[in-house]
């Protein structure tokens, strides 16, 4: 391989044609393409969320009709869940980082990887076809018989979700095989970065749960199209069966959303505390435990759906169990910070914000798993607040942390640290301002998804809407300075954070098209800072990549 005048060749510079991007088999470029696609989805879903919040500032009609409101919150949910949050961390950071952290040249099946990107795009476009046909207004859960009795938009959404499911399955399958078969010599399971462990657990859920939503969408499609009578009670079908099928996927799916976030947080905690992640094996295996238990709790969405009391009790008890591996993680992260020497760089600020927001989301989740309390809180804003504390306070905040953490490796540029910290503060404050009032009004009886409400809830709605603006400003600020960093950002060294995982210690920034010119040999764990004195001889920041990586 030749070296160009501007330094060693990297995956961005070695071929700049559009075709080389669209047909690339390079996991790093596929990761970047996913990053652009899911960011657009996030932007679209976010704008819808802001509109929904503005509408709810006052009772009655504010800016849109009730019909438009129903479609707006449904589309917000469908976009955010199926086109943004499910692929966000696994497909963007998993793709970019996973082979690098494993010391592999690529994922096991690069062509399949590119195919899953285009399958995702196709599915997203088909789902958006519903926009043209209109009238999808029953929320993202598509409960029958309502979903099969309104307009044809549902046909597009179910087909889109079915297609995107394939993308999710193929990505998960690819990662499982890559983790099993492509680890560098010396990279034993006990030395794996915790991000890999959590992507592994996520992939298992993707592979096992997604086919079930696939067949559910096929059956829903046929119900709507041919009236096969499986889910529609008017034809002798059973709507509760639909809910079982739907939640058998969609509950594990929330672990597809949150497990990779756990992985990012573990990596950030280790790196920025400069310390071995406390209870490494427990943190690693708790991901697998959550993935496993996640399959056994779907009935807690159906406490008021006419499921038997004994099933509800069992589902409730298993739901409590999920709290154990989750608490194992949170406690070990706090212990890592306690034992380590914490550096408050921007990614770490997100990790710490995550501890607060995710813990609130987790605890309220256990509250909702309690049968009696759930009867009171079911279908109120309390559920909305809990869900957003886990999804946004969990996944999105962790994803932002991960994006800031890996940004220098992806682009070769540093972002503005001061603006980074400011934006992190705005996101944290805006997020809590948006969603905390929703816990209170939910507990007081404000139902979810309603267009209109009693005047006594208005002050909470008002605070929530103001919060959404702060959150929006924070997120747009991030978009702004990240794009600015591409133009005038400081050039990043190979290892600006002083991390110990292979993507930082053994690759150039940005990485070589084949990642490693020589297969790395791993001699220590992912966070064994006490064994890595050689890397830190010149003080805190590592500027040199070992000669073998050049």
Partner 1 sequence: MANTHSDHPAHLQHHFVSSEQQFDAAKMGMWLFLVTEILLFSGMFVAYTVYRSWHPEVFVLSSELLNPWLGGLNTIVLLASSFTVALGIHFAQVNNKKGLVINLVLTFLFALTFLVVKYFEYTAKFEHGIFPGAAFDPHGVSHGVDYAMYNVPYARQFFSIYFVMTGIHGVHVLVGMGLFTWITIRAIKGEFSSEYYTPVENCGLYWHLVDIIWIFLFPLLYLI
Question: Given the rule CB under 8 A, which residues bind partner 1?
Answer: 25, 104-110, 112, 169, 173-174, 176-178, 180-182, 207-212, 214-216, 218-219, 222, 225-230, 235-238, 241, 245, 513-514, 519
Query: Of the two residues 301 and 512, which places its CB atom closer to partner 1 in the complex?
Result: 512
> Based on CB atoms, which residue is closest to partner 1, 139 or 229?
229
Closer to partner 1 by Cβ: residue 108 or 526: 108
Instruction: Kindly state the smallest distance separating residue 236's Cβ from partner 1, in Å.
Output: 6
Distance CA 77, CA 481 (A): 27
Nearer of residues 25 and 331 to partner 1, judged by Cβ: 25
Q: Are 182 and 99 in contact (CB under 8 A)?
A: yes
Nearest to 430 by CA among 386, 388, 479, 464: 464
* In the complex, minimum distance from the CB of residue 107 to partner 1, in angstroms, rounded to a whole number: 8
Measured at the CA of 141, the angle between CA 140 and CA 145, to 5 degrees, comes to 120
Q: How near is the Cβ of 25 to partner 1 at its closest, in Å?
A: 7
Question: Which CB atom, from 207 or from 261, has the smaller least distance to partner 1?
Answer: 207
User: What separation in angstroms does the CA of 58 have from each of 95, 128, 390?
Assistant: 43, 29, 27
Of 165 and 442, CB closest to partner 1:
165
| Shortest distance (Å) from residue 172 CB to partner 1 | 8
**Residue 333: which region, alpha, beta or left (left: phi > 0; alpha: psi -120 to 50)?**
alpha
Q: At what angle do helices 346-369 and 381-390 cross, to 10 degrees?
A: 140
In the complex, the smallest distance separating the C-beta of residue 528 from partner 1, rounded to whole angstroms, is 25
Residue 157 beta carbon to partner 1: minimum distance, rounded to whole angstroms: 18
Considering the complex, what minimum distance in angstroms separates the CB of residue 106 from partner 1?
4
CA distance 384 to 95: 30
Q: How far is the CB of 227 from partner 1 (least distance, A)?
A: 4
Contact indicator for 504, 457 with CB cutoff of 8 Å: no
Nearer to partner 1, 114 or 337 (CB): 114
What counts of helices (H) and strands (E) characterise the chain?
19, 0
Sequence-distant (≥ 6) Cβ neighbours of residue 5 within 8 angstroms: none
Instruction: Give the residue with the Cβ less far from partner 1, 205 or 535.
Output: 205
Integer CA distances (angstroms), 250 to 63, 213, 216, 253, 379, in order? 32, 8, 11, 5, 17
- The H or E element that residue 409 is part of is helix 397-411
Residue partners of 119: CB distance under 8 A and separation at least 6: 163, 164, 166, 167, 170
- What's the CA angle centered on 363, arms 358 and 367, to 5 degrees? 145
């Amino acid at each position: 391989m030749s070296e160009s005048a501007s330094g060693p060749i990297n995956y961005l510079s070695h071929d700049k044609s559009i075709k080389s991007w669209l047909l690339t088999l390079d996991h790093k470029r596929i990761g970047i393409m996913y990053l652009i696609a899911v960011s657009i989805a996030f932007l679209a879903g976010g704008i819808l969320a802001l509109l929904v919040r503005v509408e709810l500032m006052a009772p009655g009609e504010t800016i849109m009709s009730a019909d438009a409101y129903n479609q707006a919150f449904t589309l917000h949910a469908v976009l955010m869940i199926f086109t943004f949050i499910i692929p966000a961390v696994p497909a963007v950071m998993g793709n970019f980082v996973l082979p690098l952290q494993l010391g592999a040249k690529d994922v096991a099946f690069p062509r399949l990887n590119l195919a899953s990107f285009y399958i995702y795009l196709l599915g997203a476009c088909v789902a958006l076809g519903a926009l043209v046909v209109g009238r999808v207004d029953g929320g993202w859960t598509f409960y029958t018989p309502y979903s099969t009795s309104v307009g044809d938009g549902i046909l597009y959404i179910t087909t889109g979700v079915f297609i995107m499911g394939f993308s999710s399955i193929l990505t998960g399958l690819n990662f499982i095989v890559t983790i099993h078969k492509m680890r560098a010599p010396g990279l034993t399971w006990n030395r794996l970065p915790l991000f890999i462990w959590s992507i592994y657990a996520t992939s298992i859920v993707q592979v096992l749960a997604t086919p079930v939503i696939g067949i559910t969408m096929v059956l829903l499609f046929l119900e709507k199209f041919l009236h096969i009578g499986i889910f529609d009670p008017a034809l002798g079908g059973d709507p509760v069966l639909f809910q079982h099928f739907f939640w058998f996927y969609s509950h594990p799916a929330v672990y597809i959303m949150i497990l990779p976030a756990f992985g990012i947080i573990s990596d950030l905690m280790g790196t920025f505390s400069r310390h071995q992640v406390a209870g490494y094996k427990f943190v690693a295996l708790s991901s697998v435990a959550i993935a496993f238990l996640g399959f056994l709790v779907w009935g807690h969405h159906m406490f008021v759906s006419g499921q038997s009391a004994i099933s509800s009790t069992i589902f409730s008890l298993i739901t409590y169990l999920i709290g154990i591996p989750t608490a194992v993680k949170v406690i070990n992260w706090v212990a890592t910070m306690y034992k380590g020497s914490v550096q408050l760089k921007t990614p770490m600020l997100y990790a710490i914000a995550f501890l607060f927001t995710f813990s609130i989301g987790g605890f309220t989740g256990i509250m909702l798993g309690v049968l009696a309390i759930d009867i009171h809180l079911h279908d109120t804003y309390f559920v909305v607040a809990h869900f957003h504390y886990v999804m946004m306070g969990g996944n999105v905040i962790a994803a932002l942390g991960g994006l800031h953490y890996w940004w220098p490796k992806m682009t070769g540029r540093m972002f503005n640290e001061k603006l980074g910290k400011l934006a992190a503060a705005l996101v944290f404050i805006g997020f809590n301002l948006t969603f905390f009032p929703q816990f209170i009004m939910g507990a007081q009886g404000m139902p979810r998804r309603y267009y209109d409400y009693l005047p006594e809830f208005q002050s909470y709605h008002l605070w929530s809407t103001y919060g959404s603006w702060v959150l929006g400003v924070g997120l747009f600020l991030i978009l702004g300075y990240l794009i600015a960093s591409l133009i005038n950002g400081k050039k990043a060294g190979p290892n600006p954070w002083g991390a110990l995982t292979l993507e930082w210690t053994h690759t150039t920034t940005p990485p070589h098209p084949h990642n490693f010119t020589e297969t790395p040999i791993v001699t220590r764990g992912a966070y064994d800072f006490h064994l890595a004195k050689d890397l830190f001889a010149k003080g805190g920041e590592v500027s040199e990549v070992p000669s073998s990586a050049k």
